[in-house]
Amino acid sequence: MRLHTRSAILTLVGEGIDGTPQVAARSLAALKQIPATILSGRSSKLAVSLLVPSTELQRSVELLHHEFFQQIDPAVFAECQAPE
């Protein structure tokens, strides 16, 4: 085990996300200018975690948000209706 004192863990959460290989690939592609690492060995089927430099955390969140939410892919995200 190693201590990464200048790193942050960023986690993408969603049902079946770990069984969707394109999520990890898209995440790393979106963060291509940031040294990011996919963390493996997680037991959750609902999350994919990435290790990024803490100085790049805000930028990483913005890049991932742009990648996944600029155009919503209905195969990945289901629209929720607010209760009336």
Please give the pLDDT value at position 68.
Answer: 83
Q: What phi and psi values does residue 39 have, to the nearest 5 degrees?
A: -90, 130
Whether this prediction's pTM lies above 0.75 is answered by no
Domains of the chain with bracketed CATH: 7-69 (3.30.70.260)
| pLDDT tens by residue, 23-49 | 888 899 999 999 999 887 555 678 889
Please give the pLDDT value at position 77.
Answer: 64
Rounded CA separation 42/62 (Å):
24
| pLDDT tens by residue, 42-76 | 556 788 899 999 999 999 999 998 888 887 766 66
